Structures are given as structure tokens and as C-alpha cells.
Amino acid sequence: MKKELLLASALVSTLGATSVAQSVTATMAGSMKVGAEFESPDSGVDTNNVMDQSNFNISLSETTDGGTTISTSFEIVDEGAVDADDDNAIKLTFTDGSAIELLNAGNAASTHVVAVPGAAGEQGITGTSVNNAPGDVDFAAGSTVLGVEWHSAADFLADGLKVSASFSTDSGAAKTAIARTENSFGVGATYVTTAGDTTLTIGGGIANAEIANTGTQADSDKAGFNLGVSAVTGDLTIGVGYGDGDTFVSSTLAGANTQVDGSVLKAGVSYVTGDITMALGMTSGEAKDGGFNSPGTTDDSSDSTSASVTYAVASGVSAVVGYTTVDRSNDGTSSTMGGSAWYVGATMSF
């Protein structure tokens, strides 16, 4: 009996050691933002808010004996209510540098959106749900969780070129009156080159997704394109992006789903001098919205300009002052949902 107990103890110890040795590699990152926001809407009273935001990200990865890296990640965000971001794919990166994402893969048109400089800070003016002017250049890209996305290795067919392609399918759930994305595809590409002291990045993609619902179908599906370019010369970065396409807004009310035909332009510039980063950005979106098969004829619009100054106080610690002004219109009529906002705060990152 004693020998059996010793054997059992040895087996448990061995399994435990093996389990620890086979644990994947985990890395973490996150930040804490604390500041005060001062909003001055076009109508109503001025308000002051304390912005207390934190996020915590865990990345997991391991490499097989064959050289394939398996990775994923998750994020916990606290912006007044804790939200666990679990919409992350399992990513396989192969020895040639190509990769494929499985489940929750997203749309390849979004993968290649070029980053446009914009103001730091958490300032903003609350909008209205009936204004459907887009604010992101990839607003027409959609996908379901049952998707895959393939990424080429660097220098695909040409130096500096990377491409991606994605596809997602529906879950087989029965259609309801609430419109939803049923399946999708997307393709995208990014090209990086140099011209003298300037690094130039050009990127974009096209996307298409079908809409499913039991009621009237939209005139067109969720589809569109985005294109952007950025130039970095020393401490100066300039960027511009454009998106155009169709999307939709779901509604729980029968026959109240909304189709949207919109476009958006974003531009920005940032400059770093010593410990100070100055940034200026603008976004101009417009859209015609209406019921399915009843497209609108007048524009919703949203135009914003933001600026910020960020000072690196210490390693991982920065102080931010930001300002935003917003003008909006709904169905061609000037809206009172615009205004301006200030933000003063600090961010600690690790």
C-alpha cells in the first residue's frame, strides 16, 4: 500500500510539473486614465465629468516544434462598467511569416486601415441615435464570429506589400425582424515604401456582407471600401483616410431597420518635440439614411476637429490636454447636438 501511495504521489507530481512546463507564454499590458472632461453642448447646460478608465490586456502565445506560433489575447476594460473583450481569434503564424486567424477573425478591409493621427484625450460631445453619419473609414466592413482571415507574409509579390483576405458565414440561426450580418468577405492590402527621409504607407480594402432579416430587405447589402495614406518624416506624421459604402442600423421595432449610404473623410497631423507630442485631427462624415427600400434623400452630417498636447512626465506616465468641437445636422437640418469639450488628465501605461 505504501508503494502504491508513493507511486501515486510521484505520478501526480510528474503531471503537475509537466502541466507547468507546458504552460503557454503570457505577456500583459494595460493603462489607467484619470482626468476631467468639460462639455459645452449647443443646447442644454455645461457639464463636468471625471473620466476614470482602465484596461488590462493579456496576450498568450506558444510555438510548436514545427515552428508554428499559436496565439490569442483578451482584454478587460473598465469605463464605468466592466467589459470583457472575448472577440479574439486563434491566430496561427507559420514559419514563412504568413498567418491565419480562426473564429472572430474580423474583416480584412479593417485590418489594412491606415492609422491617421488624431488628438489624444477623452473629450467628446454626446450625439444622437438618429444621426447616422459615419465616423470610421471602415464603417462598411462587417463580419460574423464564424470567420477566418488569411494574412500574407511581408514582401508579398513586391517589397513592402502585405495582403489579407477574410470570409465569414452565418450561424444558421433563424432570421428575425432585427436585421443582422449573415455572411461576409473582405480583402485588403498595405504597401510601405520610402522616398528620401519619408516613410510612406498606403493601405485599404473592400468589403461586402449580406443582411438577413424576416422583413423587407435593404436596397443594398453592407459593403464599401476604405483607402488611406500616411507619411512619416522624422518627428512629423501626416495622414488622411477615406471610406465610402453602405451599412445598416438594426431595430427591435418591426419594419424600423435603417439602411445608411455614407462616406467619411479623416485627416490628421502629429509632431513630436522632446517630451511633447502635439496632434490635430478632423473627421467629416455624411450619410443618407432611411427605412429598408426607402433610402433617404437628405444628409446627416457630423464634422469634428480635435487637438491635443501630450507631455511625457516619466516613463509610462503622460499628461494630456485635449479639445474637440463638433457640428452636426440631421436630415439636412442643423442639429443642436454639437458643441465643444475639454479634457485634462493623465495616463499611466505598462
Q: Give me the helices (H) in 22-145, please.
A: 108-111
Amino acid identity, position 118? G
For 271-313, write each residue's pLDDT tens digit: 999 999 999 999 999 999 988 888 788 889 999 999 999 999 9
Question: What is the structure's pLDDT at 16?
Answer: 44
- Catalogue all structural domains in the chain, each as residue range(s) with its CATH number: 28-349 (2.40.160.10)
Question: What is the structure's pLDDT at 183?
Answer: 94
The Cα 125–Cα 128 span in angstroms is 10
- Give 193-202 contacts, CB < 8 A, sequence gap 24+: 193/159, 193/160, 197/233, 197/234, 198/231, 198/232, 198/233, 199/231, 199/232, 199/233, 200/229, 200/230, 200/231, 201/114, 201/229, 201/230, 201/231, 201/232, 202/114, 202/228, 202/229
How many CB atoms are closer than 10 A to CB 87? 12
Lowest mean pLDDT among 179-183, 216-220, 266-270: 216-220
For 202-225, write each residue's pLDDT tens digit: 999 999 999 998 888 888 889 999
For 14-24, write each residue's pLDDT tens digit: 344 444 456 88
Question: What is the structure's pLDDT at 43?
Answer: 82
For 67-120, write each residue's pLDDT tens digit: 999 999 988 887 665 555 556 889 999 999 999 999 999 999 999 999 999 999
Which residues have C-beta within 8 Å of that of residue 21, sequence separation ≥ 6? none
CA angle 331, 337, 339 (to 5 degrees): 130
Lowest mean pLDDT among 32-36, 125-129, 288-292, 332-336: 125-129
For 303-323, write each residue's pLDDT tens digit: 999 999 999 999 999 999 999
- The β-bridge partners of 270 are 237, 279
Question: What is the structure's pLDDT at 83?
Answer: 59
The Cα 142–Cα 180 span in angstroms is 10
Mean pLDDT of 116-140: 88
For residue 13, pLDDT beyond 50: no
